[in-house]
């Protein structure tokens, strides 16, 4: 029984997916006799169903966390394919939360914009299951399978709208994503060839033997495998220079799908990146500045922060700006990943950062959705001009999330940044921390720009300003996110402790 | 003698003032006369009360300090701003009254601070754990320095709000929200003794100020808002980096994490690191002050901001920079601050006092002129702080308050004329004294205070600053030159202010548009009256003010010298170290390290081993 | 390592070489006499008709995909069958869950009309 309970965060969502699929296929459509359209017009109930499934998953994550996965008997049986530790449970919570937000947003967005296609919700759930499995993966094989499960659903969600733009976005994302997955697989193969292991722990132990007498592990394939694995994973977190697909895919996708990509896919990819780096490549020589991965990732972090922030400031579409901002945030989180090399707080800072990033980003995308309605979707800055006068609540919510993304106290984003940069100082990565802080200044500029348009400009005469929609789903998601943003900004103690307790511990042998 | 007669005898000055007040005004009704009489009697009462008495009170019982007072002062406006969100937008009257009520209550609460003698050490201290795992505490306290800035803030913000409500009619809800939030954040920054808390309040000020500038500002409001935001934020992110570095170093040395000012104050950093951290803090503060060459955001922000915003900006917001320098730069980086003081003082004199005055002279826009005069005045304040003598720092402190009062009044007056004519060009005016006599009289009076004519508050402050600069130790032989140059700055101030007065108020009434301007109305008079009163109170009785600041200033200077000594004792290349704690009332509330094996172990059931025991935890070079 | 894989590389090289020789030899050595009839695409002796890009109905792809999905997943049952005794009840339950999931997918396809040729 404890075994099933331990796996419950994933199993619940998986079962929920199957049930929701059946419900979607067999349910009666209110406005269509065509059986192939059975789902249309039912986004509301399906969104509610998906959100409930994901929130129950989140509740089970909390339950497992309370009991403590290390206290559950029999849970080792799934190792190394599924590693249910506190790290996994923490991310299961974050991912279900992000998925639930996306489901709620979709419940309002899809019917409003006439893309009322109910496949979205099973796809969303399936992707979330994939993401959770990815986080739990402790073996290159399960890692790859989970990665693809997660990605396939997202590819479909991106192309849901069926406009040329969406098709371009989906195709681009699919092709580049497959390419990155292939690189990852190639890396895994090389690692297997070198170490004769596919499980991360085994790879890590084999790498530790390099240089010892009697070791048969060659160095070159290990390094090449490390590089290719990193490339594959940093593609998923869309770090510069592997970010090219991000703006197009984010812009072409329906906004709820965008928020899911920005939040859940990214968080899951960060989680597995951390796990791979800490478990498989945690060897002293590989975590040192001279011979290991830190300088490579530090370069990626620097590039991601700087390039994305500079480019984001030049966008005319708010959605595209948010896409670039998500790249910049990947850069900040990467600073925390690099800090794991020397700081005990590095992992925890990334975990906490992703939590704060999740709530602020879904909030920002949700507010963007909320500001538009049928035929008048808010995308550009001009669409938002003067909205504070007509709809103060929408503007206030949007500002709150933007301030959190900009990292201003007393919001969640501030603590996230603070923790990451504190870890960077702990690890003596002064340059990285200072550049990151300066970058948050650049970032603040374009977040402020949205607020300037909302509060201080009037719509151009003759322009059609966006009209906020009325949807209980979207507003409830916004309220929930706003509460979390404040809660994490004013009293982050509990979540900081959680993030600290969730870090992966490699037992030294 | 009957008690009634005795009362008449003892109260004769008040009665006389009352009678004079009732008799003098002509063409007024009875009620107005009585009101003027009461005001006159109260003024005499005030003056008599302020007159320094010879009696020395020995062993007065120490008044009880209510620990929650600061919480009330800081969070009353913040909760007020949150409640504003729930009040109806359609009833601006209710919103205005509510805002004024909150600000008024806050002012009354802050008056309590005057009830205790400001001896050295912290008063009204309140400490609570906030994030124990991060070493962050909610730690607030005041001393003689911050008390006055709090009072200045609680005193001027209601005036600014009252004035704003006269001229701004659009989007009252947003206005009330920003004013209250800004007020709370400023007060919070003045009382925080935890660097993290300070940073939170410091950043919290940004957004409401941008809203104030960007919504109700002038033509270029958005550009000004951006400029203000980017400048201030640029300073503060580097400050955050320095804070994080210091916290980390402290953890390496003391073994526990804390953001507390009292603990970090004892940290002696290696020379390069100390210089860099000092530079980061200094940058944040001199941008806020602002000091040449980082002052360029100020004229834009002032010119574009509405009158109320300008008053708050000039009176309080700029003081955060100087306050930050006293508290944090002089407190934590005495060594680097000392070595850089002479150069910085040169910058303050050359770029602030002289350059600011010269640029002000050439301005066509009255508000811009006042903004540049702010740069010059703040140059004086910084000069006094760099001098770091007792007279210098006390003078600087007094000058901060003076500047808040006189520049606040000047902005108010500029706002008055702008509301009537919607222009601030100097050449549009001339001969205004003929149509607006009261306005002209008040303007001249405030001008006198701004120049520093003896008898007004400005004189005392500038005199003390120059006196302190002359004998300053950190400035060395430069001090005397700088003092002389600063004196020239006073003359220049007279030049630009008086030429402004001459152009605007005297001469022929050339522009027909000005012929029928109404004089000050009741609202404006009411807003100006307390400022005018304070100009004279501080001009004649600066001791009221200085008495309360004296001990704290002495403490600041003493700490400054000790810190410098510790810094000079560092060998080149030596690692950071912690000064021993001195204890005493200066260090009440010093953070204690968490007990080993107590809280932390219980809270965290998961194994928290190091990633790899072979690796050292910190790895300092 | 190199010695271990060398024969394999040699084999690859020979295979590639033979292919190359066949193609290139035919290209260069064979007699050529192109006539219009010879250059026509071969369509079982009929005359060619229509343009080059012909749209095929999506249902072909759908059928192909469904075949691949269900067929390949059925392959998983073989290794399970080989180890049936060793895996015992847990193995049985796992496979049951797997098949249930497949059934749900099948029901989904059915209901969505993916199995209907005419629509």
Phi, psi (degrees; rounded to nearest 5) at B139? -130, 110
Cβ proximity of B256 and B135 under 8 Å: yes
Q: Residue A382's pLDDT is what?
A: 84
| Calpha distance A402→A481 (Å, rounded) | 12
CB contact under 8 A, C101 and A36: no
| Calpha distance A353→A332 (Å, rounded) | 9
Nearest to B611 among A86, A278, A457 (CB): A278
Q: Provide the shortest C-alpha distance from residue C16 to chain A (in Å).
A: 23
Residue B611 above 50 pLDDT? Answer: no
Q: Residue A264's pLDDT is what?
A: 93
Cα atoms in the Cβ-side hemisphere of radius 13 Å centred on A176: 21
Answer whether C107 touches A (CB < 8 Å): yes
C-alpha of B92 from chain center: 29
Q: Confidence band (pLDDT; 50, 70, 90) for B604?
A: very low
Residue B218 above 90 pLDDT? Answer: no
Cβ proximity of A503 and A388 under 8 Å: no
Q: Residue B62's pLDDT is what?
A: 61
**Looking at beta carbons, which pairs linking A23-30 to residues 24 or more positions away fall under 8 Å?**
A23/A49, A24/A118, A24/A119, A24/A121, A24/A122, A24/C108, A25/C107, A25/C108, A25/C111, A25/C112, A26/C111
Mean pLDDT, chain B, whole residue set = 82
Highest mean pLDDT: which range of A20-34, B54-68, B350-364: B350-364
- Average pLDDT estimate for B269-273: 85
Q: For residue B617, what is the enclosing H or E element?
A: none
Report if residue A451 sits inside a domain.
yes
Geometric angle at alpha carbon B527, from B521 and B530, rounded to 5°:
130
Q: Residue A344's pLDDT is what?
A: 82
* Domain around A309: 287-509
Of all residues in chain A, the one with the smallest CA distance to B172 is A389
> What ipTM, to 2 d.p.?
0.87
| Calpha distance B228→C100 (Å, rounded) | 63
Q: Which parts of chain A have pLDDT scores under 70? A: 28-41, 507-509
Cis peptide before B34 (omega within 30 of 0): no
Picking from A10, A15, A18 by the largest number of C CB atoms within 10 A of its own CB, the best residue to mutate is A18
Q: Residue A50's pLDDT is what?
A: 92
C-alpha of A245 from chain center: 16
Range in B292-306, B354-368, B455-469, B588-602 with the lowest mean pLDDT: B588-602
Q: Confidence band (pLDDT; 50, 70, 90) for B166?
A: confident
CB contact under 8 A, A501 and B605: yes
Nearest to C101 among A18, A35, A36 (CB): A18
| Calpha distance A127→A121 (Å, rounded) | 10
Report if residue A106 sits inside a domain.
no
| Calpha distance B30→B205 (Å, rounded) | 47
What pTM, to 2 d.p., does this model score? 0.85
Report if residue A389 sits inside a domain.
yes
Number of domains in chain A: 1
Q: How many CB atoms lie within 10 A of CB A479?
A: 13
Range in A108-112, A240-244, B9-13, C72-76 with the lowest mean pLDDT: B9-13
Q: Residue A36's pLDDT is what?
A: 47
Q: How many CB atoms lie within 10 A of CB A16?
A: 21
Q: Provide the shortest C-alpha distance from residue B104 to chain A (in Å).
A: 26
CB contact under 8 A, B238 and A440: no
Cβ proximity of B86 and B104 under 8 Å: no
Nearest to B603 among A444, A497, A505 (CB): A497
Residue B608 above 90 pLDDT? Answer: no
CB contact under 8 A, A38 and C112: yes
Answer whether B207 touches A (CB < 8 Å): yes
Q: What is the pLDDT of residues B549-567, one digit of tens each?
A: 888 888 888 888 888 888 8
Residues of A in contact with B247 (CB under 8 A): 422, 425
The candidate with the shortest Cα–Cα distance to A331, out of A391, A250, A379, A266, is A266
Residues of C in contact with A36 (CB under 8 A): 112-113, 119
| Calpha distance C68→A342 (Å, rounded) | 48
| Calpha distance A237→A354 (Å, rounded) | 12
- Average pLDDT estimate for B214-228: 82
| Calpha distance A465→A486 (Å, rounded) | 30
Helix extents (H) in A294-409: 294-312, 318-339, 346-370, 387-390, 392-406
| Distant-in-sequence, close-in-space partners of A203: CB < 8 Å, separation ≥ 6 | A140, A191, A195, A197, A280
B touches A, CB cut-off 8 Å, minimum 3 pairs = yes
Helix extents (H) in B11-119: 12-23, 30-50, 69-84, 92-111
Q: How many CB atoms lie within 10 A of CB C20?
A: 10
| Calpha distance B171→B216 (Å, rounded) | 9
CB contact under 8 A, B199 and A497: no
| Calpha distance B337→B334 (Å, rounded) | 5
Residues of A in contact with C101 (CB under 8 A): 18
Window A:202-261, CB contacts with C under 8 Å: 218
Q: What is the dihedral of CA A123, A129, A132, A134, to 10 degrees?
A: -80
| Calpha distance A347→A337 (Å, rounded) | 7
Q: Provide the shortest C-alpha distance from residue B244 to chain A (in Å).
A: 6
Burial of C24: CB neighbours in 10 Å, binned 0-12, 13-18, 19+: exposed
Q: Residue B51's pLDDT is what?
A: 65
Chains within contact range of chain B (3+ C-beta pairs < 8 Å): A
Q: Confidence band (pLDDT; 50, 70, 90) for B461?
A: confident
- Average pLDDT estimate for B116-137: 82
Mean pLDDT, chain C, whole residue set = 84
| Calpha distance B225→A171 (Å, rounded) | 42
Tokens of A164: 């040329």
Residue B614 above 80 pLDDT? Answer: no
Answer whether C101 touches A (CB < 8 Å): yes
Q: Residue B55's pLDDT is what?
A: 54
Q: Is the sign of the CA dihedral A197, A200, A202, A207 positive or negative?
A: positive
Q: For residue A385, what is the enclosing H or E element?
A: none
Nearest to A282 among B132, B238, B612 (CB): B612
The candidate with the shortest Cα–Cα distance to A123, out of C63, C69, C98, C108, is C108
| Calpha distance A400→A380 (Å, rounded) | 19
Residue B615 above 60 pLDDT? Answer: no
Q: What residues does A317 pair with on adjacent strands?
A: A380
For chain B, counts of helices (H) and of strands (E): 27, 4
Q: How many CB pairs under 8 A join A and B?
A: 125
Cα atoms in the Cβ-side hemisphere of radius 13 Å centred on B372: 21
Q: For residue B426, what is the enclosing H or E element?
A: none
Of all residues in chain C, the one with the smallest CA distance to A38 is C112
Picking from A281, A337, A426 by the largest number of B CB atoms within 10 A of its own CB, the best residue to mutate is A426
Highest mean pLDDT: which range of A451-460, B178-187, B245-254: B178-187
Q: Residue C17's pLDDT is what?
A: 96
Residues of A in contact with B617 (CB under 8 A): 344
CB contact under 8 A, A388 and B174: yes
- Cα distances (angstroms) measured from residue A113 to each of A117, A121, A330, A372, B98: 11, 16, 30, 9, 42
Answer whether A496 touches B (CB < 8 Å): yes
Residue B143 above 90 pLDDT? Answer: no
Q: What pairing do the DSSP bridges indicate for beta strands B123-131 and B267-268?
A: unpaired
Report if residue A23 sits inside a domain.
no
Each domain of chain C, given as residue ranges in start order, spans: 58-111
The candidate with the shortest Cα–Cα distance to A366, out of A465, A246, A441, A472, is A472
Tokens of C113: 């009309």
Answer whether A390 touches B (CB < 8 Å): no
| Calpha distance B190→B144 (Å, rounded) | 12
Picking from B228, B612, B620 by the largest number of A CB atoms within 10 A of its own CB, the best residue to mutate is B612
Q: How many CB atoms lie within 10 A of CB B551?
A: 16
| Calpha distance A214→A210 (Å, rounded) | 9
Cβ proximity of A57 and A9 under 8 Å: yes
Window A:315-374, CB contacts with B under 8 Å: 340, 342, 344
- Cα distances (angstroms) measured from residue B64 to each of B192, B356, C109: 21, 45, 79
Cβ proximity of A112 and A471 under 8 Å: yes
Q: Provide the shortest C-alpha distance from residue A15 to chain C (in Å).
A: 9
| Calpha distance A242→B485 (Å, rounded) | 59
Residues of B in contact with A426 (CB under 8 A): 248, 618
SS3 assignment, position B438: helix
Tokens of C57: 């109905």
Q: What is the pLDDT of residues A13-31, one digit of tens each?
A: 999 999 998 888 887 665 5
| Calpha distance A51→A266 (Å, rounded) | 20
Q: Residue B477's pLDDT is what?
A: 79
Window A:58-87, CB contacts with B under 8 Å: 68, 70, 86
Q: What is the pLDDT of residues A411-420, one digit of tens each?
A: 899 989 989 9
Q: Confidence band (pLDDT; 50, 70, 90) for B417?
A: confident
Range in B44-53, B189-198, B418-427 with the lowest mean pLDDT: B44-53
Q: What residues does B260 pair with on adjacent strands?
A: B194
Buried b / exposed e along B270-291 (16+ C-beta atoms within 10 A): bbebbbbbbebbbbbbbbbbbb
Strand blocks (E) in B506-593: 577-578
C-alpha of B443 from chain center: 23
């Amino acid at each position: 029984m404890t075994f099933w309970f331990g796996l419950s965060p994933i199993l619940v969502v998986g079962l929920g997916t199957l049930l929701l699929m059946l419900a979607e296929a067999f349910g009666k459509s209110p406005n269509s006799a065509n059986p192939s359209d059975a789902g249309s017009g039912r986004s509301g109930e399906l969104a509610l169903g998906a959100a409930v499934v994901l929130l129950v998953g989140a509740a089970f994550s909390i339950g497992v966390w309370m009991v403590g996965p290390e206290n559950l008997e029999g849970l080792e049986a799934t190792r190394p394919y599924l590693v249910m530790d506190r790290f996994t449970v923490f991310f299961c919570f974050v991912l279900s939360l992000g998925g639930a937000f996306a489901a709620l947003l979709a419940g309002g967005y899809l019917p409003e914009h006439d893309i009322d296609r109910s496949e979205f919700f099973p796809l969303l759930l399936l992707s979330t299951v994939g993401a959770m499995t990815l986080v739990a993966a402790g073996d290159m094989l399960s890692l790859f399978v989970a990665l693809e499960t997660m990605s396939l659903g997202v590819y479909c969600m991106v192309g849901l709208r069926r406009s040329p733009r969406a098709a371009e976005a989906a195709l681009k994302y699919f092709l580049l994503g497959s390419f990155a997955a292939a690189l990852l697989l190639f890396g895994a193969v090389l690692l297997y060839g070198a170490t004769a292991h596919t499980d991360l722990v085994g790879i890590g132990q084999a790498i530790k033997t390099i240089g010892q007498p009697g070791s048969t592990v060659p160095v070159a394939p290990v390094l090449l495998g490390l590089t290719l694995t990193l490339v594959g994973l940093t593609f998923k977190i869309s770090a510069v220079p592997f970010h090219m697909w991000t703006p197009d895919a984010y812009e072409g996708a329906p906004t709820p799908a965008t928020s899911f990509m920005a939040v859940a896919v990214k968080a899951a990819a960060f989680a597995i990146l951390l796990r791979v780096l800490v478990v498989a490549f945690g060897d002293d020589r590989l975590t040192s500045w001279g011979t290991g991965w830190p300088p490579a990732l530090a370069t990626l972090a620097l590039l991601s922060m700087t390039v994305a922030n500079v480019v984001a400031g030049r966008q005319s579409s708010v959605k595209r700006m948010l896409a670039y901002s998500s790249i910049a945030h990947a850069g900040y989180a990467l600073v925390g990943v690099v800090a794991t090399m020397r700081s005990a707080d590095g992992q925890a800072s990334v975990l906490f950062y992703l939590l704060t990033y999740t709530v602020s980003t879904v909030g920002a995308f949700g507010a963007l959705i909320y500001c538009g309605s049928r035929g008048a979707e808010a995308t550009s800055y001009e669409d938002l001009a003067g909205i504070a006068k007509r709809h103060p609540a929408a503007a206030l919510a949007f500002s709150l999330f933007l301030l959190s993304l900009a990292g201003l106290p007393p919001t969640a984003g501030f603590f996230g940044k603070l923790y990451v940069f504190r870890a960077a100082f702990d690890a003596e990565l002064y340059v990285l921390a200072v550049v990151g802080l300066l970058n948050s200044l650049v970032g603040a500029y374009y977040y402020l720009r949205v607020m300037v348009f909302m509060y201080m400009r009037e719509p151009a005469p003759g322009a059609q300003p966006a009209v906020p929609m009325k949807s209980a789903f979207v507003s409830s998601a916004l309220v929930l996110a706003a509460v979390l943003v404040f809660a994490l900004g004013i009293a982050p103690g509990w979540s900081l402790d959680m993030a600290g307790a969730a870090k992966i511990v490699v037992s030294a042998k | 003698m009957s008690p009634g007669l005795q009362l008449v005898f003892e109260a004769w000055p008040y009665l006389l003032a009352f009678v004079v007040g009732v008799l003098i005004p002509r063409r007024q009704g009875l009620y107005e006369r009585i009101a003027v009489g009461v005001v006159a009697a109260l003024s005499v009462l005030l003056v008599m009360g302020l007159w320094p008495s010879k009696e020395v009170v020995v062993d007065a019982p120490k008044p009880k300090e209510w620990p929650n007072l600061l919480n009330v002062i800081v969070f009353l406006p913040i909760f007020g701003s949150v409640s504003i969100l729930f009040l109806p937008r359609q009833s601006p009257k209710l919103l205005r009254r509510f805002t004024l009520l909150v600000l008024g209550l806050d002012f009354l609460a802050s008056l309590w601070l005057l009830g205790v003698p400001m001896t050295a050490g912290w008063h009204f201290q309140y400490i609570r754990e906030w994030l124990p795992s991060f070493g962050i505490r909610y730690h607030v306290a005041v001393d003689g320095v911050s008390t006055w800035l709090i009072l200045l803030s609680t005193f001027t913000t209601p005036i600014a709000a009252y004035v704003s409500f006269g001229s701004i009619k659009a989007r009252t809800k947003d206005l009330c929200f920003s004013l209250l939030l800004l007020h709370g954040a400023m007060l919070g920054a003045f009382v925080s003794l935890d660097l993290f808390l300070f940073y939170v309040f410091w950043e919290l000020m940004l957004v409401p100020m941008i809203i104030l500038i960007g919504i109700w500002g002038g033509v270029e409001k958005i550009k000004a808002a951006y400029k203000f935001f980017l400048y201030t934020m640029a300073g503060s992110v580097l400050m955050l980096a320095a804070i994080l570095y210091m916290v980390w170093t402290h953890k390496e040395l003391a073994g526990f994490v804390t953001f507390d000012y009292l603990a970090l104050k004892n940290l002696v950093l290696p020379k390069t690191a100390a210089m860099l951290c000092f530079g980061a803090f200094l940058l944040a503060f001199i941008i806020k002050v602002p000091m040449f060459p980082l002052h360029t955001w100020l004229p834009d922000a002032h010119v574009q901001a509405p009158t109320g915003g300008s008053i708050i900006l000039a009176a309080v917001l700029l003081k955060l920079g100087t306050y930050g320098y006293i508290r944090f730069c002089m407190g934590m980086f005495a060594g680097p601050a000392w070595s850089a003081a002479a150069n910085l003082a040169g910058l303050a004199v050359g770029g602030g006092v002289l350059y600011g005055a010269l640029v002000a002279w050439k301005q066509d826009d009255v508000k811009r002129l006042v903004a540049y005069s702010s740069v010059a005045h703040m140059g004086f304040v910084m000069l006094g702080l760099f001098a770091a003598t007792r007279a210098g720092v006390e003078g600087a402190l007094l000058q901060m308050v003076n500047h808040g009062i006189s520049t606040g009044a000047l902005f108010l007056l500029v706002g008055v004329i702008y509301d009537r004519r919607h222009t601030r060009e100097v050449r549009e005016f001339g001969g205004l004294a003929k149509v607006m006599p009261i306005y002209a009289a008040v303007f001249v009076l405030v001008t006198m205070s701004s120049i520093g004519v003896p008898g007004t508050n400005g004189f005392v402050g500038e005199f003390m600053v120059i006196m302190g600069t002359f004998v300053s130790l950190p400035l060395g032989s430069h001090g005397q030159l700088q003092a002389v140059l600063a004196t020239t700055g006073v003359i220049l101030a007279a030049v630009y202010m008086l030429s402004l007065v001459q152009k605007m108020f005297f001469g022929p009434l050339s522009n027909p548009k000005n012929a029928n301007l109404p004089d000050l109305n009741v609202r404006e008079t009411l807003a100006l009256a307390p400022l005018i009163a304070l100009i004279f109170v501080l001009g004649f009785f600066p001791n009221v003010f200085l008495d309360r600041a004296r001990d704290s200033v002495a403490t600041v200077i003493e700490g400054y010298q000790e810190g410098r000594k510790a810094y000079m004792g560092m060998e080149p290349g030596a690692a950071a170290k912690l000064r021993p704690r001195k204890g005493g009332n200066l260090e009440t509330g010093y953070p204690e390290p968490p007990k080993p094996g107590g809280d932390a172990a219980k809270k965290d059931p998961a194994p928290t081993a190091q990633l790899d025991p072979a690796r050292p935890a910190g790895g300092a070079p | 390592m190199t010695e271990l894989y060398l024969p394999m590389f040699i084999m690859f090289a020979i295979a590639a070489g033979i292919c190359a020789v066949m193609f290139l030899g035919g290209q260069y050595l064979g007699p050529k006499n192109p006539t219009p009839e010879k250059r026509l695409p071969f369509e079982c002796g009929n005359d060619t008709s229509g343009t080059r890009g012909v749209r095929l109905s999506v249902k072909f792809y759908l059928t192909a995909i469904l075949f691949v999905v269900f067929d390949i997943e059925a392959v998983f049952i073989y290794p399970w069958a080989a180890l049936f005794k060793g895996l015992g009840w847990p193995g049985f339950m796992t496979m049951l869950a797997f098949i249930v999931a497949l059934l749900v997918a099948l029901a989904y396809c059915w209901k969505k009309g993916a199995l209907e040729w005419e629509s």
